A and B are shown apart, each in its own frame.
Chain A
């Protein structure tokens, strides 16, 4: 386990390749104007951000949550209710939503952390369902299953825009933010602790790691970003209902992208989203209308194949090639230090 990596500077390809990649993404809207493609890109970033957020607790710490839609939904509902009922800007709502999601996550996860493996997963499913049912039940606050409509009043203060480009940048920045945080965690002491407790929790405790504390941190960070993504969703789709934002399908999706991309790696969820999001949109738009259900069936088959044949995720398959590429790129001083 590497804890102390070489300090990366801008001239090392480990850093400048991803940075270039992100810069490229920033430039895309200058070339592609068609809102349909932009929309797809937005979804890709959106799911990459969510899946990366999930990955912090699910991947790094190995605590498989299938109830993450709860945090996502709490973010969406908090800001939407603040905005619709109290006229509070979604920018403030975003902070409130993220923090509330974080607190709820801390409150419900802490006791569940003593559960291991599948039992933890079951508890997250149950919590996700309880939150969904409660949100549906308290109609006076949430409008219940009717759903909550966010009136469209464009303006930066309302985080609502006529065109898609601002949403594009918001989603992109959100994704980069989560990825950077993930990266920071993965090379930090916390990342090391999380990985060790994932591999062997008793062992980690034995060497004095307060595993509950680090899991708690991880789930809070994870839920915070999930909540923020929820706020974005509410402002983008402008309509939220418990059936869609709290759905178990949503929870599964966050995890799936991460698993298929490569769980526990920084790049995995992003790769997962860049492949799966367009794939599902594509399958739906080509097969959906004429063959009900077939597109999801194909999605399922793909999932099984990946799980059986590439349990490490797709990213592992690219890893060698990517590293080989990095080796060949200009690398100035770093090389001597490394060798």
Chain B
């Protein structure tokens, strides 16, 4: 007994000191000391409640790394990732600190969750390190006038706005006049859901649509029957919904149980994009829309290289991609490699300059939309102003991009089928 105590305390003490000596991050695959590597920090939630999509987001960047390394890497050197796990905002700050000040990272790719991105990018900015956001969508991330922060993905507000625009566009398909169409908005109440929901509301008001109900709830809940009964009483034609995966599944199962029917349901990302959703509710998923990052079934004419990505993903991870989160991270990281190649060094100043010069037209990337970053003086400094979300629809339990037309890989099917 005493012995165990001694071991325990010794272990605890050793680990305390080991923080100092540990090389950190079990990360990057190859660790043999090849002299010439380019090290880049990656910061995602690998544990905790956001781990599932965090991992998916990261996988895109990982594939981009492998692709680039096969092509000869950066400046002839192989790229290596130093991984950091940030389950919450406090850890994000600590890990960003570790990556920058202990591992000496000059570039960090992150972070799927908006809260983590918020907190970690602040550390990067203070240290003059590039923060390359390939997943978090909340608007305020790029509203702080940061110089070293770049985001390749569209903003949360554009998700909400796009959803309303799309709702208006499909009014004829469900047989109502746009001005008579009744819209309900439901969203989970964290930063992500609220940003999307509030913007959808504002856009609906701008467009003069009839907003009959707006409900917010905590994604941690274990029952949504009350939300659904509320919506059912409002009886909307179109539902715009924002939720994470658990509550998406719960919502649609309970919607069926309680016989809640809408003519068109428009999800906005996260849960609505995930294969798990389709697996959980089966054919009930069909005809639900998803306003989101470009999905895996986007027209390859529009999203160049998307098929190659899917193939690589399957080869690397032994399963098909779970959602577009990997795809956007893949495309985002590829842009970063080009920027760094052009900058010619790890110097953040040079990378920043090169990034600001980027101007990729639409249809040239694996996500379809092009890339141009807003300058440091802009309201949305560092935001890719060419990024916008697409609308996909679940067909035979697969997401197929249906809107806008140039990206479409399939036809819009409406209205929703009533529950049997």
Chain A: residues with CB nearer than 8 A to chain B?
34-37, 39-40, 43, 133, 136, 139, 144-147, 149, 151-152, 162, 233, 236-241, 243-244, 247, 274-275, 278-279, 281-293, 295-296, 302, 305-306, 309-310, 314, 317
Contact = CB atoms under 8 A, between A and B. Distances in A.
B26 A286 contact: yes
Contact of A39 (B4, B13, B94, B125): B94
Contact of A146 (B1, B9, B125, B194): B194
- Give the 6 A-B residue pairs with the shortest CB-CB distance, closest first: A288-B85, A289-B83, A290-B26, A36-B101, A36-B102, A35-B101
A237 B95 CA distance: 12
Given A36-B98, A145-B190, A282-B15, A151 B119 contact: no
Nearest to B219: A145
B139 to A, nearest CB: 11
Given A34-B102, A239-B118, A296-B47, A289 B12 contact: no
A296 B85 CA distance: 12
Contact of B189 (A144, A233, A239, A288): A144
B22 A286 contact: yes
A225 B362 CA distance: 54
Contact of A244 (B5, B20, B88): B88
27 contacts: A37-B20, A39-B101, A43-B94, A136-B218, A139-B189, A145-B189, A145-B218, A146-B190, A146-B194, A152-B144, A237-B90, A241-B115, A243-B88, A244-B88, A275-B13, A275-B16, A278-B19, A282-B22, A285-B24, A286-B18, A289-B46, A290-B83, A292-B51, A293-B47, A309-B8, A314-B9, A317-B9
Interface in B112-149: 115, 118-119, 122, 125-127, 140, 144
B195 interface: yes
Given A149-B140, A237-B119, A288 B89 contact: no
Contact of A149 (B94, B118, B126): B118
Given A34-B101, A39-B101, A43-B94, A305 B15 contact: no
Nearest to A291: B26
B320 interface: no
B93 interface: yes
B97 interface: yes
Nearest to A242: B190
Q: Which of A43, A145, A292 has the most CB of B within 10 A?
A: A145
B316 to A, nearest CB: 16
Nearest to B54: A292
Contacts of A289: 25-27, 46, 83-85
A149 B20 CA distance: 31
A217 to B, nearest CB: 30
Nearest to A43: B94
Contacts of B46: 288-289, 292
Contacts of A43: 94
Interface in B69-100: 83-85, 88-91, 93-95, 97-98, 100
Contacts of A293: 47
Given A36-B101, A43-B94, A239 B122 contact: yes
A147 to B, nearest CB: 6
B191 interface: yes
Contact of A35 (B16, B55, B83, B97): B97
B47 A244 contact: no
A289 B25 CA distance: 6
Contacts of B100: 35-36
A295 B91 CA distance: 13
B195 A239 contact: no
Centre residue among B16, B88, B189, B194 by max chain A CB count within 10 A = B16
B85 A136 contact: no
A43 B127 CA distance: 19
A37 B18 CA distance: 12
Given A149-B118, A244-B90, A40 B25 contact: no
A268 to B, nearest CB: 14
Contacts of A274: 16
A285 B46 CA distance: 11
A284 B85 contact: yes
B89 A241 contact: yes
Given A144-B194, A146-B191, A151-B144, A237 B218 contact: no
Contact of A309 (B4, B18, B94, B193): B4
A260 to B, nearest CB: 9
Contacts of A279: 12, 15-16
Nearest to B190: A145
A40 B195 CA distance: 33
Contacts of A147: 89, 115, 118, 191
Nearest to A34: B101
A279 B8 CA distance: 12
Contacts of B144: 149, 151-152
A274 B102 CA distance: 20
